[in-house]
Structure 1
Amino acid sequence: MSSSAAASSGTRREDEDDGENWKKRTVSPASSASPENSPSVANINLRREYTLAVQTNSYNEMWSIIHHPHGQGDADGDGDEILRPDRASVEEAIRLARPTRLTRLVSRYLESSEQASDLFLSLRRSVDLAREMYSPIALLLDVLPATSPIPSPAAQSVPSLLSLPQCDSAFDVFVDFDRGGNPFQAAADGFVDIRDCFSVLKQQLELRLLTARRRHRLLRRATIASATCLVVSVTGAVVAALVLASHALLAVAAMGPVALCCGGSDVLAGRRRHLRERMSGTDAAARETYVLDKHLSTVERLVARLHATVESDKVLVRLGLERGRGQIHPIQEVVRQLRKNHSSFRHQLTDLDEHVCLCLAALNRARSLLLQQIHRLRSTG
């Protein structure tokens, strides 16, 4: 057994439970019964996919890897701790397979998935940096009064809730916050390149699936024609046997078309089975790529929102700092606004953290499914 086959079989054993659960989610009963009628990727319930994905072993394993104290340092090396099947296994499988459009497609996906994994790990570090950056503000909000003063109609100014020492402490925290950079990038160039690749991959997988469905329909029609030929041949053979019962040789000759049709039927059955397997694997890979693209779109939106939130908080803090130390009411208003938005910001960080993990797990599932397509080409080539 080659090293690529061994690596692939090892990966399949590790993810056997996840693979079975994923097939149940991505292939409906109708598609299982009739491959040519399998549902489009547009019919995927993304909310349900998200709920089920976070319960899989692959997600929990990926979460442990990227949140391990030393996991990110290992991942910054050659990525073997993150991407599976690893690069060596996939490259060997591609090298041994027949050069086709699919092998070139998988090779391109390999490169893009490595770029995507680097991007996701960078975002994972950005989440940690953002939490570290906002940690002093979170501690400040915990110790300062939580209720905002409500002025009476006759009051000329808002009563102060903060003491001068509290105001000075908040001022120092805001100075440090203003000095820090934004952990999230505004530009989305990395997302654009990766999503373009995934879009092409999905389109070509769907085209490959459509071609296989057409061939399956043709073979099914050929099987029907073969069965019709069989019925006609059997009928003719019976009639010939009855009419020419005394001529055994002619009866045997009449059975020739029967054998031919039967043999042709067996050959077509094998080809139909092969096409069904190919359709099932291609459909699963196309679906996985579709789900991954949607996760990536969500990550892109979350990053843009988090970047905008940090920039908005920085503008707010600078407004308070511009009034100078000891100005209680401006600092108090900044604290009030930060408290109002802080819970939502923390939830956004958690959402991004989860979607980064989902994307990395989906990358590996897509790599595994595409590698199975390559091995199928080798076994049939």
Structure 2
Amino acid sequence: MRCLGGGGGGGGRSRRAGHPPPPASSSAPVPAPSGSGEENEECDGFDRINGENRQRRRDLSRLSECCLPTTSAAASSAASPTINLSGEYMLAVNTSSYKEIWYKIHRHRSEGGEGDSEEVEASDSAETPSSAGLISRVLDPDRASVEETLRGVTPDHLTRLVDDYFQSSEHSSRYCISLRRAVGRAYSLYAPIEELIDLISSADSRRARLTDAQCDRAFDILLQFDRLGNPFPPPSGDTRSFQLMRGRFADLKKQLELRLLKARQRRRLLRRSAQASGACLIISTVSLAVTGVFLATHALVVLMAGPSFLLGGCLPTRDSPARPRRRTRRDMAQLDAASRGAYALNTDLDTIERLVARLHANVESDRELVRLGLESGGRDQQQHLIVEVARQLRRNLYTFLRQLEDLEEHICLFLAAVNRARSLLLRQIQQRRPPP
């Protein structure tokens, strides 16, 4: 006979003590089933004397086992607070602000805004008429609205910092638009490569060699690819621009957090002042009641003079903390939103910098591969190298096109975040303007 479900002596004692059975993965050794007569007699005697209590403990043990979380439940509860980055990213690229930026950029391109080769190759610092028109179309609020608002505000440290942020965000937006043009040039650069890949794929499917005309066409495609150059700026010359932009956004975030801390301290001070006003009101009321008891003969004088004297400095007036508390809460919400926006812009710039560096490295790697095919010897060796180069470019093309799409999406996300942060800061400045 097994005691309490066939467990060993230690298991029976633990259940008799009212504890749930040890888990199967416990490191404690499992004793062999008891088979001696003394142990069986002891268990039988215990069952006869305490059968009812044992049944109650067994039911409680089952309840405890049911209440304990299983491994799958614990795993699901641990995974529940995890953020779904893919889902959040899909939500971001489906917002109306993102779609509006995407539409404005691509409409500008379809209208011929990027058709002029001289304008495309212009430096980022030189603002062409087309880029100026696109900037004024993309940025909301634009430069004119910002300058008009800042003219009516008393200049201080925060105003100068915000003005610097508006200029930095406009410069960053112009730089991102130039990167969008680089994406367009990259698509144009790799379009003949797709033709070369189709040419090699058709020859592979027929298991035939390239003809002389096909080999000459493939050579011209590779030569054109090598001559056009890399559409993306090198990381060495691009890092300083990104560091400068990120540094300005980091300074803005630090100043906004400092202003937010001061606003929170002011709110606590106003709350304590309101509590003190309430306590003063209670004390004044009690004082009036006590005074009315002891000065019954002068009750009329006390009721007329007492409130104006005692409550005059305690009740909230127009200059008391009642109204500033609402204004402080509103300022705190806007400062917090602006600080989060500055942090998001800094993070987006870091992501864009990494994507640009990766795309530049991929183009340089493909150019080295193309030069290898161009520096071949005779016709047979040249044809063999061109075929191998085309096959390797075919392996790299899908990843490269996906990276181009990622960069284009992050540029639109950055421009949408810039507009949100500019709107919040401009609203904050407008509320600080003195009434006319």
Give the structure-2-normalised TM-score. Answer: 0.70
284-293 or 72-81: which moved more? 72-81
Quote the residue 1:67 is aligned against. Answer: 106
Quote the residue 1:364 is aligned against. Answer: 419
**Alpha-carbon distance between aligned partners in 2 of 1:71 and 1:274, rounded to the nearest angstrom:** 48
Identify the structure with bigger relative contact order (alpha carbons < 8 Å, sequence gap 6+): 1
Cα offset for 1:247?
1.5
The counterpart of 1:282, out of the listed 325, 335, 341, is 335
- The structure that has the greater radius of gyration is 2
**Alpha-carbon distance between aligned partners in 2 of 1:98 and 1:46, rounded to the nearest angstrom:** 43
Where do 5+ consecutive residues of structure 1 fail to align?
A: 1-43, 150-159
Q: Quick one: percent identity of the two aligned structures?
A: 49
**Alpha-carbon distance between aligned partners in 2 of 1:209 and 1:279, rounded to the nearest angstrom:** 6
The question of whether the paired residues in 2 share the 8 Å contact of 1:162 and 1:332 is answered with no
Quote the residue 2:314 is aligned against. Answer: 261
The counterpart of 2:226, out of the listed 178, 189, 195, is 178
Quote the residue 2:210 is aligned against. Answer: 163
Quote the residue 1:309 is aligned against. Answer: 362
Quote the residue 1:336 is aligned against. Answer: 391
The question of whether the paired residues in 2 share the 8 Å contact of 1:75 and 1:82 is answered with no
Q: How does 1:78-157 map to 2 (within 5 A)?
A: 79-145=135-201
**Alignment of 1:347 onto 2:402:** yes
Change (3 A) 1:45 1:115: farther
Change (3 A) 1:148 1:224: farther
**Alpha-carbon distance between aligned partners in 1 of 2:208 and 2:342, rounded to the nearest angstrom:** 53
The counterpart of 1:226, out of the listed 277, 280, 285, is 277
Quote the residue 2:302 is aligned against. Answer: 250
Q: Report the 3-state secondary structure (helix = DSSP H, G, I; strand = E; otherwise coil) of the residue aligned with 2:148.
A: helix
The question of whether the paired residues in 2 share the 8 Å contact of 1:84 and 1:367 is answered with yes
Q: What is the RMSD of the two structures over their aligned residues, measured on CA atoms?
A: 2.7
**Alpha-carbon distance between aligned partners in 2 of 1:145 and 1:355, rounded to the nearest angstrom:** 33
**Alpha-carbon distance between aligned partners in 1 of 2:343 and 2:392, rounded to the nearest angstrom:** 39
Cα offset for 1:312?
0.4
How many residues in Structure 1 have an aligned counterpart in Structure 2?
330
244-253 or 361-370: which moved more? 244-253
Q: Report the 3-state secondary structure (helix = DSSP H, G, I; strand = E; otherwise coil) of the residue aligned with 1:183.
A: coil
Cα offset for 1:139?
2.3
- Report the AA paired with residue 104 of structure 1: R
- Report the AA paired with residue 183 of structure 1: P
Cα offset for 1:242?
2.7
The question of whether the paired residues in 1 share the 8 Å contact of 2:203 and 2:209 is answered with no
**Alpha-carbon distance between aligned partners in 2 of 1:219 and 1:80, rounded to the nearest angstrom:** 42
Cα offset for 1:65?
1.0
Cα offset for 1:116?
1.1
**Alpha-carbon distance between aligned partners in 2 of 1:71 and 1:209, rounded to the nearest angstrom:** 45
- Report the AA paired with residue 201 of structure 1: L
**Alpha-carbon distance between aligned partners in 2 of 1:225 and 1:46, rounded to the nearest angstrom:** 47
1:273-309 Cα offsets, whole Å, 9 max, x none, are 1111111111111111111111111111000000000
